């Protein structure tokens, strides 16, 4: 069929316009792919300030560093990527430097995406791992040994109703010494954790999520802030899916606030993606991934740690006042 149409290109000018149109189409296609069609979003709220890259004294690729304040110290858990294997490490965090980095022995080479919480006075790492070929959520209860932490107990989590093949990004939060997880945003589903690791549905409510990409995924733990739980989520947009392997998705960041009392219903959220200047730079961040995993309350500001580009961790600051003013009531 192509040859049939080409026979009508019977002059140099027609061949010129043919190649011009072909070249222009190719340029536009590559532009949309390589830049992730970021312009398809109306705008960003550049509320994330002063991005700083976490420095380590350990060789290898470390990313998705989640931090926490606990007993007068700051700790950060990071994912180490080693080819097709993945491990979780824990170290002391101070001034964008992680030191005394030690591997958490989780009896696995496929542990991913740690979050740190304090539950019943104990430091706990929430992560996902492979179990019989499927991704499942786990808790690692940690105990202090010398100047670092070791794994005391591992608990595999199950949930009421059928589990997906891949379970990840459950958002942990603690209320009255009970552990809960925000499982998904639509329907708004909160799970209650029980001592045996089984999680039952505590709240499930259909919601109309506004915004240009209403499918939200978990991110940082939710912390109690100004009388409500506040957390940062990510949006995995598939607008570039399958074009180029290293740019299949674009990860955007947002924030929400929900009630600090049961049934923990969503109150408000950001509509525009949160960003900082240069966050989606083609060279510095070709995968276009911003993945929030940790949050610290620092008075008038929140500090947020994010995995970037699957190869590093950055910490940014955001003004509470500016963040809350950018949220839309639901």
The 10s digit of each residue's pLDDT in 174-213 is 999 999 999 999 899 999 999 999 999 999 999 887 765 5
For the chain, count helices (H), then strands (E).
Answer: 3, 23
Structure tokens at 288: 């276009």
When pLDDT is cut at 50, 70 and 90, the band that residue 18 belongs to is: confident
Q: Burial of 172 by CB count in 10 Å (0-12 exposed, 13-18 middle, 19+ buried)?
A: buried
Burial annotation 99-130 (CB, 10 A radius, 16+ → b, else e): eebbebebebeebbbbbbbebeeebbbbbbbe
CA atoms within 13 A on the CB side of 59: 0
Delineate the domains of the chain, giving CATH numbers in brackets: 36-329 (2.115.10.20)
Residue 241: per-residue pLDDT: 38
CA atoms within 13 A on the CB side of 15: 4
Full-model pTM: 0.85
Residue 20: per-residue pLDDT: 82
Residue 17: per-residue pLDDT: 76
Vertex 154: Cα angle to 171 and 260 (nearest 5): 25
Find where tokens 């990860």 sit. 251
Residue 245: per-residue pLDDT: 35
- What is the spatial distance between Cα 313 and Cα 206, in angstroms, rounded to a whole number? 34
Element (H, E) at 157: none
């Amino acid at each position: 069929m192509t040859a049939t149409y080409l026979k009508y290109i019977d002059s140099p000018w027609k061949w010129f316009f043919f190649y011009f149109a072909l070249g222009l189409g190719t340029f536009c296609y590559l532009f949309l792919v390589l830049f992730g069609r970021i312009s398809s979003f109306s705008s960003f709220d550049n509320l994330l300030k002063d991005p700083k890259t976490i420095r380590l004294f350990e060789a290898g690729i470390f990313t998705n560093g989640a931090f926490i304040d606990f007993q007068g110290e700051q700790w950060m858990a990071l994912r180490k990527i080693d080819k097709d294997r993945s491990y979780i490490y824990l170290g002391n965090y101070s001034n964008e430097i992680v030191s005394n980095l030690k591997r958490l022995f989780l009896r696995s080479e496929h542990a991913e995406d740690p979050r740190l919480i304090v539950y019943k006075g104990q430091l706990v790492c929430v992560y996902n791992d492979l179990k019989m070929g499927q991704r499942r959520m786990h808790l690692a209860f940690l105990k202090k040994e010398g100047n670092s932490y070791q794994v005391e107990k591992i608990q595999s989590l199950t949930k009421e109703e059928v589990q997906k093949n891949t379970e990840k990004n459950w958002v942990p939060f603690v209320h009255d010494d009970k552990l809960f997880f925000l499982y998904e945003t639509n329907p708004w589903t909160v799970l209650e954790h029980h001592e045996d690791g089984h999680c039952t549905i505590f709240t499930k409510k259909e919601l109309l999520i506004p915004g240009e990409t209403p499918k939200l995924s978990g991110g940082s733990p939710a912390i109690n802030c100004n009388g409500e739980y506040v957390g940062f989520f990510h949006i995995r947009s598939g607008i570039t899916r399958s074009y180029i392997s290293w740019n299949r998705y674009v990860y955007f960041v947002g924030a929400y606030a929900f009630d600090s009392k049961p049934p923990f219903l969503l109150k408000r959220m950001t509509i525009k993606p949160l960003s900082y200047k240069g966050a989606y730079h083609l060279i510095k961040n070709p995968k276009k991934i911003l993945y929030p995993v940790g949050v610290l309350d620092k008075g008038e500001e929140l500090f947020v740690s994010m995995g970037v580009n699957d190869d590093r961790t950055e910490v940014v600051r955001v003004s509470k006042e500016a963040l809350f003013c950018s949220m839309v009531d639901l």
